[in-house]
Structure 1
Amino acid sequence: MSAGQNETSKPRLLVLIGPTAIGKTRMSLEIAKAWNAEIISGDSMQVYKGMDIGTAKIREEEREGIPHHLIDICEPDYPFSVAEFQERCGELIRDITARGKLPFIVGGTGLYVESVAYGYEFPDSGSDEAYREEQLQYAAEYGAEALHEKLRAVDPESAQRLHPNDQRRVIRALEVHHLTGMTLSAQLAGQKKTSPYELCIIGLSMERQALYDRINKRVDAMIEEGLVEEVRRLLGSGVSGDCVAMQGLGYKEIALFLKQQLPLEDAVELLKRDTRRFAKRQLSWFRRMHDIVWVESSENFHKNLLLIHAIIAGKFRVDLEYPTNQSF
């Protein structure tokens, strides 16, 4: 199948979203092979080099020849932003389309994906370094939760989306309100919901307890694969535990163990709890998005895949023909 070109003025864009651990990676490979697609990671953490196990990054040998983009593009101490993601994605989409292939975003960072799908505009509201420093000092004195509560008081929607440990983004949300008098969530809600693309967004969902079971098993597998050693190596190489990347799931919890602030067993349980809460926040964000066709992910992988193929074919108005190397 090929869906890289169309007769309309808009380029096609395929998107697969869903909460962490639901099975996007395996599904995306089969979709990409069938639809002549190149995958763009829509995960805000997979951009960082050396952060592989904790981000569930697909290994080179597992990609089955499918090009993957926006993986391993910056160092862990680089403050990668949604605006930069959007810019890089736009360039990739134009390039992939020009080569007659289908751009295919796969990931779970809702704001990142939505910013590309609908061409969000990010106004430069400026900065106030003194204000930022004041908030950093407040967090140092009273703790990350107290800073997060400050955000909850003025912008509860952003507070729900952002983890208390994500201090850079929490402070930025506070700063936007401080500078403009308008909340970040209100700015996002005011964005246009028309897409510059011929858009097909597919969302994977799953019964909550089944998803939580998958999350718990994934965390156990990450520990077995060497997550503790990965975090130890990052910290030992000079990566600050306070940088944005190290506030990601898996890294901040294991860092607590390595700093002897928690026993390993407690750190693992904390990671499982934080990941379940993150998945809940992801689903809350996705449920507010437009244009998603939801697929209930079951144990019958090939049934799910057939359904997704049919959805894509219907959305892009192409004949549903499967290549001979595909078995169902």
Structure 2
Amino acid sequence: MASSSAAARRRLKVVVIMGATGCGKSRLSLHLASVFRSEIINADKMQVYPGLDMTTNKIKPDDRRGVPHHLLGSFDPDDGEMTPSQFRSLGHAAISDVAFRGNLPILVGGSNSFIHALLVQRFDPEADVFGCLGSPASPELRYDCCFLWVDVSLPVLEEYLSKRVDELLDTGTFEELARYYDQGRTETGLRKAIGVPEFDRYFNKYPPPRAVDLDDAWRREEGRKRDNDPVREGAYKEAVREIKENARKLAKWQIGKTRHLKGCGWELWRLDATEAVRLAMAAGEEGGGGRDVWKRQVVGPSEKIVRRFLRET
């Protein structure tokens, strides 16, 4: 009976992968899920909504390797903006379901306010934990957590984010934003995604055609118009500049929040992916020259940390 009571009191084990946008959290989560029987729970506040999959950098269904993903594109934006309290409730339900099936919950995302709300033992929705004069985050957690912090030095990360913005706009994100603008959506949550407000200002001046006409031919025509109109080209470049600047600000803010949680007593294992990202950029492709470094400095240590964590009672 005593043994049964102890088992009932034992906290659920959760692996938490944290870090700024673009550091490789999703990539690491999929690898760990291939090693340990796991399911992934999204903790990115923009990715909880359906739509704008490229803009919000959702992992594609074909790239999920059959690993179940939860709270990814499942919250109706017409229901309003998801709050930390709602995420706490939905996240707990997802963790419980995954654990009930005998699988390891892996919480992945850069929205530290959501991660904090879900994991702390006592959550006060009125407390400003991350404000300049906010209350310190409690080190008391309601799960047995293994925190993996994928970190990239800010100068390298900023360079990578700038390149990623250009690549995304060249491979469909611009059309996605144009379609979203054409739909005239008014919900609050998804409209805060980086890229939407910046290009809304552009599309207000240069409205796109109907969504059904947004194809390769439209892209070529749009490019021709910008080439022949310096004012239009300047407006486009300003939108891109604002996106890059806001992505840099987001990354810096996310890193600051993560450090704050570590300073409040959260035991975070820091995994330095700086060199892997630098080499990947030099190779001009995902992974590229940084694959071996990524395996050696991020993947290998992560596997060892998680194995040790799962052996602990």
Instruction: Please give the range of the TM-score, normalised by the shorter of the 2 chains.
Output: 0.7 to 0.9
State the Cα deviation string for residues 193-252 of structure 1 (Å, max 9, x = none): 211111101101112221111101111121012222212222222302x72321221211
Q: Answer yes or no: is the 8 Å Cα contact 1:53–1:225 preserved in 2.
A: no
Structure-2 separation of matches of 1:156 and 1:96: 28
Equivalent residue number for residue 202 of structure 1: 148
Q: 1:259 aligns with which of 204, 217, 229?
A: 204
Aligned residues: 256
Deviations 1:88-134 (A, max 9, x none): 01011111101100011000000101111213423589xxxxxxxxx
Partner Cα separation in structure 2 for residue 100 and residue 198 of structure 1: 15
Q: Which moved more, 1:226-235 or 1:273-282?
A: 226-235
**Corresponding residue number in structure 1 for 2:102:** 100
Specify every segment of 5 or more residues in structure 1 that has no aligned partner in the other structure, as ranges. Answer: 1-5, 126-154, 161-182, 319-328
- SS of 1:15's equivalent in the other structure is strand
SS of the counterpart of 2:159? helix
Distance 1:123 1:156 in 2: 9
Which residue pairs with 1:247 in the alignment?
Answer: 192
Normalising by structure 2, we get a TM-score of 0.76
1:63 is matched with: 64
Pairwise CA RMSD: 2.4
Query: Could you tell me whether the CA contact under 8 Å between 1:42 and 1:113 is conserved in 2?
Result: yes
Hey, what's the Cα distance between the residues in 2 that align with 1:121 and 1:209? 34
1:147 corresponds in structure 2 to none
What code does the residue aligned with 2:183 have? S
State the Cα distance separating 1:315 from its structure 2 match.
2.6
Mapping 1:69-148, distance limit 5 Å: 69-77=70-78, 78-122=80-124
Listed as ranges, the gaps of 5+ residues in structure 2 are: 1-5, 207-233, 277-292
- The alpha-carbon deviation at position 192 of structure 1 amounts to 3.3
Percentage of identical aligned residues:
26
Distance 1:313 1:157, change over 3 A: closer
Assess, with a 3 A threshold, how the Cα gap between structure 1 residues 209 and 123 changes in structure 2: closer, same or farther: closer
Q: What does the per-residue CA deviation read over 1:235-282, in whole Å, with 9 as the maximum and x for residues that have no partner? A: 222302x72321221211121211229711111111111101110000
Larger % of helix: which?
Answer: 2
Structure 1 distance, partners of 2:242, 2:123, is 36
Aligned to 1:277: 249
- The more displaced of 281-290 and 201-210 is 201-210
